[in-house]
Amino acid sequence: MKWRNSLAENFILITGRTVKQAAGLHKGKESEEYRRATELVEMNSDDMARLGIGEGQVIRLRSSAGQVEMPAHSGTVPSKMIFIPLGPGANSLIGPETEGTGMPSFKGLTVEIEPI
Amino acid sequence: MKTIVENATCTFCGCLCDDIFVEVEDNRIVRVRRVCANGRGVFIDYDPRPRRPIVAGREVEWEEAVSEAARILVQADSPLIYGLSSSASEAQMKAVELADLIGAIIDTTSSVCHGPTSLAVQAVGEVSCSLGEVRQRADFLVFWGCNPAASHLRHFERYSLRPKGRYIPNGRMDRHMVVVDVRPTASAKMADHFIQISPGGDFEVLATLRALIQGKEIEPKSVSGVPLIQLQELVQRMKACHFGVFFMGMGLTMSGAREYNVRELFTLVTELNQYTRFFVIPMRGHGNVAGADQVLTWQSGYPFAVSFARGYPQYSPGEFSAVDGLVREEVDAALILASDPMAHFPRAAGYQLKRIPTIVIDPMMNLTAESARVFFPTGSYGVDAVGTCYRMDNVPIRLRKVIDSRRPTDEAILGQIIEAIKRC
């Protein structure tokens, strides 16, 4: 696949609701609260240490649909998995294919990560 | 003057909690109690002051905005009406009427949440019950691919885990809770058992559970990362309970196998009824997304992804669903009702939405409204507008308003657009 970078490492992306994302959207999608709540990547702390990613460090994420840069934070996700709250940041990585259902793959997508 | 409104309804999620306590002073909400962190903003952050509609970035009179919306929809070859799930069912009915009138495609946010669940229901049926029955009777709860501790914050307290019920006198102590997920969520921490499966492993685990229930022998010692013994114990517990309920979420509908995951779960639930009582309730996200399914089904025969282009309703997920129609550039105008697809669609679909003339009807300015040709700032159902919403278990709840209306409703604006189109 052309989008893959041999120096980066592959992870499984899960997107979903968070309490801060929900609270942020009431403040307005242009608000700082919403932006902070949706533009972040939760990672396993062992993965962060292995890749030399510090808490809050901005990383580059790339999928077959696009790429985005966001700060990484340690969270309760298994190794080789990342979580991004629903929102414009995650949308940059989600492909438009719906397999004839109307539903894009918002969970289980392969993305590659590299520290910048 | 201060007034107190008791038993108001929060419309943020499919729980539709209807016990909210609201304190109002000079027609502004000053205090809310019992509401969760997700729903608080529905009351506290809503600004009820009247706003004028916007056309091409400038404020205009309502008549001008209605005329412009009608012009866009009449001139379009393939208009899309999308959203609906955060509006009341009275407005949803008007949206279907408008789609029928102009030969539009109509789709709801279901297509990007529980659309695959609808496909599964059509294929294998659904054994379901009300949240009232869960509260009074359920002694075994399985939350699969959902995280109520982040998305439906009062679900445990009001309906499922903690309430004392008629046949559940000790509340939490009389209920056994299992969470199945690919990650240890906040909900998993509250469970008696957490089963962590590998991403994309839902179908395999569900198929294994069906086989175990039928008494078949399974050779592998683990399935999709789950030790077989853990699944055997789960089967024993499920068969032994009195009243079991699965709550399922987008962990099943948004991952690879989509509706096949849900089919397998719904079939499992049906088969469990050979041994005991078992039910399933989809965890619906938006406050009236269940109502959108209901209204579209009773008006057109289908729950989402419907086209009226040929003068009669046609159903085709993957063809008449919003993301597909936008990405294939088949849609040439859009009316977005109470939704923000720019914030929740893949970027390619959002990009196309920016390129076509778009009309947004919503209480709040949002990312879609920012780039829309026409924006109607309307009232908020359950706050300053009355209407009907359907809870996640398809029980209709009548919403009262807690402050005086100073804005038109979604239903009124859609009615005016319909009348303007008829005059064209």
Note whether B18 and B35 are within 8 A (CB). Answer: no
Establish if A25 touches chain B: CB-CB under 8 angstroms. Answer: yes
Give backbone dihedrals phi and psi of B281, rounded to 5 degrees, phi first. -130, 120
- Determine the pLDDT at residue A5: 56
Q: Which of B250, B252, B253, B354 is the best substitution to test chain A (most A C-beta atoms within 10 A)?
A: B250
Domains in chain A, ordered, with CATH? 9-115 (2.40.40.20)
CA distance B182 to chain A (A): 8
- Determine the pLDDT at residue A7: 58
Q: Which long-range contacts (CB under 8 A, 24 or more apart) does B362-365 make?
A: B362/B336, B362/B337, B362/B338, B363/B46, B363/B338, B363/B407, B364/A28, B364/B46, B365/A28, B365/A30
Buried b or exposed e, range B55-68, using 16+ CB within 10 angstroms: beeeebeeeebbbb
Q: Residues B142, B146, B150, B155: is their CA dihedral positive or negative?
A: negative
The side-by-side arrangement of strands in the sheet containing B243-248 is B193-196, B176-181, B140-144, B243-248, B277-282
Establish if A18 touches chain B: CB-CB under 8 angstroms. Answer: yes
Cβ neighbours around B273 below 10 Å, total:
12
Which member of B37, B112, B367 has the closest CB to residue A104?
B112
| CA nearest to B66, candidates B57, B75, B58, B55 | B55
| CA nearest to A2, candidates A66, A70, A58 | A66
Name the pairing type of β-strands B222-223 and B226-227: antiparallel
**Could you give the CA distance from residue B176 to residue A63 in angstroms, rounded to a whole number?**
40
**Could you give the CA distance from residue B298 to residue A68 in angstroms, rounded to a whole number?**
42
Residues 250-269 of chain B whose Cβ lies under 8 A from any Cβ of chain A: 250-251, 253-256, 258-259
Buried b or exposed e, range B218-239, using 16+ CB within 10 angstroms: eeeeebbebeeeebeebbebbe
Q: Which helix (H) or strand (E) holds B342?
A: helix B341-344
Beta-bridge partner residues of B231: none
CA distance A114 to chain B (A): 21
3-state helix, strand, coil in chain A (%, to 5): 25, 35, 45
* CATH (residue range B52-113+287-379+408-423): 3.40.50.740
**Could you give the CA distance from residue B79 to residue B102 in angstroms, rounded to a whole number?**
8
Note whether B231 and B205 are within 8 A (CB). Answer: yes
**Across the interface, do B259 and A108 touch by the CB < 8 Å criterion?**
no
pTM as predicted: 0.96
Which member of A12, A19, A103 has the closest CB to residue B116?
A103
Chain A contacts of B200, Cβ < 8 Å? 108
- Determine the pLDDT at residue A6: 55
- Determine the pLDDT at residue B1: 80
State the fold for domain B115-282: Dimethylsulfoxide Reductase; domain 2 (3.40.228)
Cα A92 to the center of its chain, rounded Å = 9
**Across the interface, do A91 and B200 touch by the CB < 8 Å criterion?**
no
Higher-scoring residue by pLDDT: A5, A63 = A63
Q: What is the pLDDT along chain B (424 residues), one digit of tens a residue?
A: 889 999 999 999 999 999 999 999 999 999 999 999 999 999 999 999 999 999 999 999 999 999 999 999 999 999 999 999 999 999 999 999 999 999 999 999 999 999 999 999 999 999 999 999 999 999 999 999 999 999 999 999 999 999 999 999 999 999 999 999 999 999 999 999 999 999 999 999 999 999 999 999 999 999 999 999 999 999 999 999 999 999 999 999 999 899 999 999 999 999 999 999 999 999 999 999 999 999 999 999 999 999 999 999 999 999 999 999 999 999 999 999 999 999 999 999 999 999 999 999 999 999 999 999 999 999 999 999 999 999 999 999 999 999 999 999 999 999 999 999 999 8
The mean of the pLDDT values for chain A is 91
Chain B contacts of A18, Cβ < 8 Å? 150
Establish if A95 touches chain B: CB-CB under 8 angstroms. Answer: yes
Question: Which tokens in the block code for residue B184?
Answer: 């240890």
**Across the interface, do B344 and A86 touch by the CB < 8 Å criterion?**
yes
Closest chain A residue by Cα to residue B306 = A102
**Residues A15-19: what's their mean pLDDT?**
92
Closest chain B residue by Cα to residue A109 = B255
DSSP state of B10: -
ipTM of the complex, rounded to two decimals: 0.92
Establish if B78 touches chain A: CB-CB under 8 angstroms. Answer: no
Which member of A23, A86, A91 has the closest CB to residue B347?
A91
- Determine the pLDDT at residue B37: 96
Residues 154-193 of chain B whose Cβ lies under 8 A from any Cβ of chain A: 182-185
Establish if A83 touches chain B: CB-CB under 8 angstroms. Answer: yes
- Determine the pLDDT at residue A116: 86
- Domain map (residue ranges) of chain B: 52-113+287-379+408-423, 115-282
Burial of B396 (0-12, 13-18, 19+ CB in 10 A): middle
Cβ neighbours around B189 below 10 Å, total:
11
DSSP state of B286: B
Closest chain A residue by Cα to residue B352 = A96
Q: Which of B289, B324, B336, B362 is the best substitution to test chain A (most A C-beta atoms within 10 A)?
A: B324
Establish if B305 touches chain A: CB-CB under 8 angstroms. Answer: yes
Spell out the residues 6+ positions from residue B274 whose beta carbon is closer than 8 angstroms to its own.
none
Give backbone dihedrals phi and psi of B324, rounded to 5 degrees, phi first. -65, -45
- Determine the pLDDT at residue A1: 46
Establish if A4 touches chain B: CB-CB under 8 angstroms. Answer: no
Question: Which tokens in the block code for residue B191?
Answer: 């469970």
**Residues A67-88: what's their mean pLDDT?**
96
